[in-house]
Amino acid sequence: EAGRGPAGGSAPAGSAARPSGHSCTNPEISWALPNTSHVSHEDLTSQVGEVLLYYCYCEVKDPEKLCAWQKALCQHLHLTGKVRVASEGINGTVGGSKVATSLYIKAMLSQPLFRNILCQEDFKSSAGGSHCFPDLRVGVFKEIVPMGIDPKIVSYKETGIHLSPQEFHREVKQYLSQASQGQSDTILLDCRNFYESKIGRFQGCLAPDIRKFSYFPSYVDENLELFKDKRVLMYCTGGIRCERGSAYLRSKAVCREVYQLKGGIHKYLEEFPDGFYRGKLFVFDDRYAICSNEDIISVCRYCGVLWDQYKLCSSQHCRQLVLTCPGCCNKGLTACCPVCQEKELKVTSRISGQTLKEECECTRRRPRVPIENVSPRMLDTGK
């Protein structure tokens, strides 16, 4: 069925073949940095700019060398953010002035390692700048997206079939129409974390209640029956989690076929800002979310009023995000749970010092891997 299309016919244009990955026989990493002599310091460091999100799967012979070049490039252009390098490729989200991000894209596209693999369309942009990140972090890792499975065991080369935003939109429309009549054999799967899908998601999706993407493989294992003989439409923020996530799901050989949204929600919203995705898009920087439509689908953790703007839990020991509206904030309700609220009061009465980050009540009470108790009827109606 690999060559079959989403609706069971021939595969749609541009997605008939499953990507097989990229192999570079002997790529040279160029140390060249872009010329900035024609650019003023103000233009290069302007606070008004953008945030770029991208990834590229390819064989990297010397991850350390690529890491060093990336660090030098970002520093040269005054970019902040996070870049993960591995033998399987690169994954980055960086912020800076529009002049700086433009030069960054040009440098990436001219890098011999990525030439003929990366293209302009692979960079997703949103309003922001260097101020969206506290610093620059570039490092070498085993995976460019932390799924916790050895890339040699589950490779990006075995990914699902990519659908363009237009193709994905048509598929979701058909799925919702069939589901409303109780006839769907499709699962629309959000492979992000619960706090991401809480503030924005596709209508009728199945959004796993998981805290980390590294729990996704266990989630699939524990819920295999759910996916048996189903067509799965997967999506995530920019597409990278679907690359490995779809490969893992396919490795279980239970689905009829697995498809994924090329470019993720980012690219879909560029084409369909008022489409089937409602609410905010969570991003992993100091903005927490970006907006494409006016819908608010989440509520304040304390009073239940519609609210979708995250804040960090006010308790110094905690790393959770909390949805608390201005009214509740004014009442001092700024922690993610009662335990953290209590600890916050104790901490503020003590002498300030280094506090150890630990899991709070919210995390301890949450099942690490939820087992879905979803009836076929519930799936069909998209609930």
pLDDT at 16: 38
Residues 6 or more apart whose CB falls under 8 angstroms from that of 254 comprise 224, 227, 228, 229
Domain count, the chain: 3
Map residue 257 onto helix, strand or coil.
strand
Stretch (H or E) spanning 120: none
Gap between the Cα atoms of 90 and 83, Å rounded: 7
- Mean pLDDT throughout 313-334? 90
pLDDT at 30: 74
- 52 and 134 inside one domain: yes
22 part of a folded domain = no
Instruction: Determine how many CB atoms are found less than 10 A away from the CB of residue 329.
Output: 15
Per-residue pLDDT tens for 225-266?
999 999 999 999 999 999 999 999 999 999 999 999 999 999
- 113 and 172 inside one domain: no
pLDDT at 264: 97
Cα 37-41-42 angle, rounded to 5 deg: 140
- 112 touches 121 (CB < 8 A): no
**CATH code, domain with 277:** 3.40.250.10
- 168 and 114 inside one domain: no
Among 153-157, 304-308, 354-358, the range with the most confident prediction by mean pLDDT is 304-308
pLDDT at 116: 87
pTM: 0.83
Per-residue pLDDT tens for 140-183?
999 999 999 999 899 889 999 999 999 999 999 999 999 888 88
- 273 and 321 inside one domain: no
Gap between the Cα atoms of 179 and 379, Å rounded: 7
- 306 and 261 inside one domain: no
What one-character-per-residue DSSP string does 312-358 give? E-SSTT---EEE--HHHHHTT--SSSHHHHHHHHHHHHSPP------
- 133 and 187 inside one domain: no
- 168 and 249 inside one domain: yes
- Domain extent, residue 206, equals 161-288
Map residue 136 onto helix, strand or coil.
strand
Per-residue pLDDT tens for 79-90?
999 999 999 999
Mean pLDDT in the chain? 86
Catalytic site residue 74?
Answer: no
Go through 30-51 and write b for each residue having 16 or more CB atoms within 10 A of its CB, e for each that does not.
eeeeeebeebeeeebbbeebbb
Instruction: Determine how many CB atoms are found less than 10 A away from the CB of residue 11.
Output: 20
At 363, the pLDDT band (50, 70, 90 cuts) reads low
Gap between the Cα atoms of 377 and 305, Å rounded: 30
Per-residue pLDDT tens for 26-53?
456 778 899 999 999 999 999 899 999 9
136 part of a folded domain = yes
Per-residue pLDDT tens for 107-129?
999 999 998 899 999 999 999 99
pLDDT at 31: 80
- Marked catalytic residue, from 236, 318, 340, 362: 236
pLDDT at 365 over 90: no
**CATH code, domain with 72:** 3.30.70.100
- 99 touches 44 (CB < 8 A): yes
- 314 and 333 inside one domain: yes
- 165 and 208 inside one domain: yes
- 171 and 277 inside one domain: yes
